[in-house]
């Protein structure tokens, strides 16, 4: 058997040895998550989408505001990555970001990121002929106020071309700590 690759052609024919090989590759691959996320954030550099600042600067401002407000590292990294899905999921960017973050963050932070798109709409939906109060469909949810606060305090006001945000490199050590070990995972017990 080739020690670098499994040899099965269908999972029904796989062996424990095959999965041992795959597992060793998985753990090595998982170590590179922070760098892949940094690389993907860099795709937002120069992408203005009509906004006053590019999408990367918006993410940096959002995270910097959360950091300077004393939020913990997990929250700050959620703020940094909240719009990372813009390039791959322009119509569901919040879902993309939330899915990436979910194994590493609290249930509340996951809910905030997953729903921030509709909550952010409070600030502009009415300009597009949409219901700015669409977020009120969630008014009885325990994380409603937390999401409304995220959007008000950090997201909706992070389009200032004169704001002195921290550079991306400032957040990398935080990212490495947040993504060091999943908090929740389908596979966690097997790890």
Where are the domains positioned within the chain?
Answer: 33-190
Q: What is the chain's mean pLDDT, rounded?
A: 94
Question: What are φ and ψ of residue 29, in 5° steps?
Answer: -65, -40
Task: Count other C-beta atoms under 10 Å from residue 68's C-beta.
Answer: 12
In this predicted structure, the answer to whether residue 62 has a pLDDT above a threshold of 80 is yes
Contact 139, 64 (CB under 8 A): no
Q: How many CB atoms lie within 10 A of CB 182?
A: 15
What is the pLDDT averaged over residues 132-159? 98
Q: Check residue 48 and give its pLDDT.
A: 93
Confidence at 183, pLDDT banded by 50, 70, 90: confident
pLDDT(188) > 60: no
Give the residue from 66, 12, 94, 50 showing the smallest Cα distance to 178: 66
CA distances to 21, 66, 176, 191 from 155, rounded to whole Å, are 43, 9, 23, 35
Q: What is the number of alpha carbons within 13 Å of residue 30 lying toward its C-beta?
A: 14
- Rounded CA separation 83/99 (Å): 12
CATH architecture of 33-190: Orthogonal Bundle (1.10)
Average pLDDT on 48-60 reads 96
- Please state, in angstroms and rounded to a whole number, the distance separating the CA atoms of residues 174 and 167: 13
């Amino acid at each position: 058997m080739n020690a670098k690759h499994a040899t099965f052609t269908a999972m029904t024919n796989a062996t424990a040895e095959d999965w041992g090989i795959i597992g060793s590759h998985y753990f090595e691959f998982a170590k590179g998550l922070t760098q892949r996320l940094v690389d993907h954030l860099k795709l937002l550099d120069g992408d203005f989408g009509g906004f006053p600042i590019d999408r990367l600067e918006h993410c940096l401002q959002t995270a910097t505001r959360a950091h300077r407000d004393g939020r913990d590292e997990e929250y700050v990294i959620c703020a940094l990555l909240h719009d990372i899905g813009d390039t791959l999921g322009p119509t569901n960017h919040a879902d993309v970001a939330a899915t990436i973050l979910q194994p590493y963050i609290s249930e509340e932070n996951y809910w905030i990121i997953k729903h921030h798109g509709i909550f952010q709409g409070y600030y502009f939906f009415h300009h597009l002929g949409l219901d700015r109060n669409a977020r009120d469909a969630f008014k009885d949810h325990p994380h409603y106020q937390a999401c409304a606060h995220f959007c008000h305090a950090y997201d909706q006001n992070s389009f200032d071309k004169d704001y002195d945000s921290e550079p991306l490199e400032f957040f990398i050590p935080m990212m490495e700590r947040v993504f060091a070990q999943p908090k929740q995972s389908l596979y966690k017990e097997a790890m």
